Structure 1
Amino acid sequence: MITGYCTNGDAVALSAAEPPASLRPDVVWIDLVEPTKTEDLMMEKLLGISIPTRDDLKDIEPSSRLYTENDAVFMTASLVYRSDTEIPGLTDVGFILSGGRLVTIRYAEPRAFGLFKAGMHRIPGGCRNGAVLLARLLETIADRTAEILEQAVDKIDGLSIEVFGDKAAARRRPPHFLEARLRDVAGHYRLVAKTRDSLASLSRLLTFVYTVPAVQGDKDSRELCRSISRDIQSLSEHAAFISGNITFLLDASLGLINVEQNAIIKIFSIASVVLLPPTLVASIYGMNFRVMPELEWQLGYPWALAAMVISAVIPFFFFRWKGWL
């Protein structure tokens, strides 16, 4: 699907079934979403540039992600998408500045694009050219990334309260509660890790964008890119801090699981020690020797039971006194 956007923010549909002879001069942004081969060929003919394929966008070599060819600037960044799901991921998005227009190629739907389209009419000074649009789009992407990190912080704080709740709440926990929280921690870690990768990609892209003549020639775009670059740096540091908190939460959860397991093992250990003396008494009087004076004793049975009870009670209270229970 191909959609063009004019300087006033209006959308114009472009179809490969009825290809236009030329692009309207007021079209400053062309958004290609999962373009077909036919649509790629149509845009290459209209723009006079080569449109990167999905495989081209996936190339991780810096020289293949940021370059200039025939006065057209080609850039690729990795953006977070599906951040509200249990399986967040990264999608490679291509940005092209050519002939005063911005061209984007993507095979997913990062939320930042929807937010940018909704606010295009409110861009100060309007959508004058592709350089302005690129700077404003990168600003929206940075804002959306900051929002993803804020949501991650809120969820991690809630998870921390669940893990480190008061003792009364800990006693009411269902079985395998902490094990389930480990899966939640892993999900949050994946999201923050993907966000850090995206921020690193955006940082490289902004460093390159700042040297592009079309951006250097526009004062507002140049200053905005510089501001976004500082924001990306701050977000990267914040993401590293969040990642450290998640690591602490993971280690603490594993520690609590070990404590619970040790408590269970301690109960069995104490029970075996408490029951050992009565077992010894019962074993002695369970022997089948011919000469055992107690066997003829009328009160032998109740005294043997009393000896077993006393031998079990004494270790129990001893452990209580030591604070082991």
Structure 2
Amino acid sequence: MIKAYRSNCEAISLSADGDLAHLSEDIVWIDLINPHRDEEKRVEALLGAELPTREDLKDIEPSSRLYTEDNNVFMTASLVWKADSSDPQLTDVAFILVGNRLVTIRYAEPKSFNLFIAAITRTPHEIRSGAVLLLKLLETIVDRTAEIIENTVVGIDHVAKGIFGGEARSKRKEPRYLEDKIAEIASFHRLVSKVRDSLTSLARVQSFLHATTLVQEDKDAKEMGASIARDIHSLSEHVSYISGNLTFLLDASLGIINVEQNAIIKIFSIASVVFLPPTLVASIYGMNFARMPELQWAYGYPLAIFVMLISAIIPFIVFRWKGWL
């Protein structure tokens, strides 16, 4: 699918089977969403420039993601997709500046694009160039990333309350309670890792774009690019803090599991020690020797029971006094 936007933010559709021979001068953005090869060839013919394929977007080398060719600027960034689901992913999006136009190629629909399109069509205003449009789009992407981080912090705080909160202690008796919390921590860690990779990619794109002539010659664009760079740097530091917090929660969960397991083992160990003396007494009087005077006593059996009880009670009292129980 091919969508185009004029400088006044009016959206138009460029069908793949149309007979459009050239692009209007006021078209500043061409957005290719899951394009077929014939659609790519059509846009290439209209622009007079070769577009990267889906396989090209997967390259991770900086020289393949950020380069200029025939005065056209080619950039590829990894954006977080499906951040609100249980399976967040990264999708590669190409940003291409061809003359005064911006071309984007994407094989997913990150929420930031929908937010940006809704914003420019709801409050339309004149867009001078594709470079300015790209900076505004990057600004929306960074804002959406900040929103993802904010939602992640709220979720992590909820997990922390579930691990350390007073109400959670009774719930820990439920089977696999802390194991489920560890699974939640792993899910948040996966999302945070993808956000970090996305911010790194966006920082490279912003730095490369900021050095281009299109931005350097425009004072407003230059200031906007510097503001985006500061936001990306701030978010990257915040993500590093969140990652450390997740590591702490994971270590704490494993520590609590070990403590609870040790408490169970401690109970069994103490029970073994408490019942060891009675077992010894019962074992002695259970031996079948001919000469055991106590076997002939009228009160031998009650006495043996009394000795076993005393031998169990004394260790229990000692353990309570020592604070081991």
What's the TM-score, normalizing by structure 2? 0.97
* C-alpha distance after superposition, 1:211-268 (max 9, x if no partner): 1122222222111011101111111111111111111111111110100110011011
Letter in 1 for 2:268: F
Give the match's secondary structure for 2:165: coil
- What is the CA–CA distance in structure 2 between the aligned matches of 1:126 and 1:64, rounded to whole Å? 33
In 2, the alpha carbon distance for the partners of 1:214 and 1:100 equals: 9
Distance of 1:260 and 1:176 partners within structure 2: 12
Aligned equivalent of 1:162: 162
Q: Is the 8 A contact 2:77 2:92 kept in 1?
A: yes
Q: Partner residue of 2:258? A: 258
User: Which residue is 1:303 aligned to?
Assistant: 303
Mapped to 2, the partners of 1:35 and 1:22 lie a distance apart of: 19
| Structure 1 residue 132: Cα displacement | 1.2
Residue equivalent to 1:215: 215
> Which residue type is aligned with residue 44 of structure 2?
E
The reply to whether residue 87 of structure 1 matches residue 87 of structure 2 is yes
Shift in Å at residue 99 of structure 1?
2.3
1:315 aligns with 2:315: yes
Residue 170 of structure 2 aligns with which residue? 171
Shift, 1:24, TM fit: 2.4
2:196 is matched with which residue? 196
Q: 1:125 to 1:2 in 2, by over 3 A?
A: closer
Matched, 1:3 2:3: yes
Q: Distance in 2 between matches of 1:287 and 1:20?
A: 106
Alpha-carbon distance between aligned partners in 2 of 1:187 and 1:113, rounded to the nearest angstrom: 25
Residues 1:58 and 2:38 are matched in the alignment: no
Residues of 1 paired with 2:281 and 2:141: CA distance?
77
For residue 82 of structure 1, report the CA deviation from its aligned partner.
1.0
| Structure 1 SS opposite 2:152 | helix
Distance 2:117 2:106 in 1: 15
Q: How does 1:226-241 map to 2 (within 5 A)?
A: 226-241=226-241
Instruction: Judge conservation of contact 2:8–2:124 (CA < 8 Å) in 1.
Output: no
Displacement of 1:53 after TM fit?
Answer: 0.8
Q: Classify the secondary structure of the residue corresponding to 1:68.
A: strand
Change (3 A) 1:169 1:159: closer
1:30 and 2:30 matched: yes
Contact preservation (8 Å) 2:16, 2:38: yes
Where structure 1 has 5 or more consecutive residues not aligned to the other structure, the ranges are: none
Residue in structure 1 matched with residue 77 of structure 2 by the alignment:
77
Deviation at 1:128, TM superposition (A): 2.1
1:5-34 C-alpha deviation (Å, 9 max, x unpaired): 112222111111224222222221111111
Q: 2: distance between equivalents of 1:19 and 1:281?
A: 103
Q: Secondary structure at the match of 2:93?
A: strand
2:104 paired with 1:104: yes
- For 2:181, the equivalent position in structure 1 comes to 181
Q: Give the fraction of aligned pairs with identical amino acids, expressed as a percent.
A: 61
Distance 1:24 1:252, change over 3 A: same
User: Residue 77 of structure 2: SS of its match in structure 1?
Assistant: strand
Question: Using a 3 Å threshold, how does the CA distance of structure 1 residues 125 and 216 change in structure 2: closer, same or farther?
Answer: farther
CA distance in 2, matches of 1:299, 1:36: 99
Tell me by how many angstroms 1:124 deviates.
8.3
Any gaps of 5 or more consecutive residues in structure 2? none
The answer to whether the 8 A contact 1:120-1:127 is kept is no
Contact 1:91 1:107 in 2 (8 A): yes
Contact 1:19–1:42 at 8 Å: present in 2 too? Answer: no
Contact map agreement 1:216 1:222 (CA 8 A) in 2: yes
Number of residue pairs the alignment of both structures matches: 324
Kept after mapping to 2: 8 A contact 1:57/1:65: yes
**1:19–1:190 CA distance, 2 compared to 1 (3 A):** farther
Tell whether 2:249 aligns with 1:249: yes
Change (3 A) 1:238 1:205: same
Question: Normalized against structure 1, the TM-score is what?
Answer: 0.97
Relative to 1, partners in 2 of residues 1:43 and 1:165: Cα closer, same or farther, differing over 3 Å? same
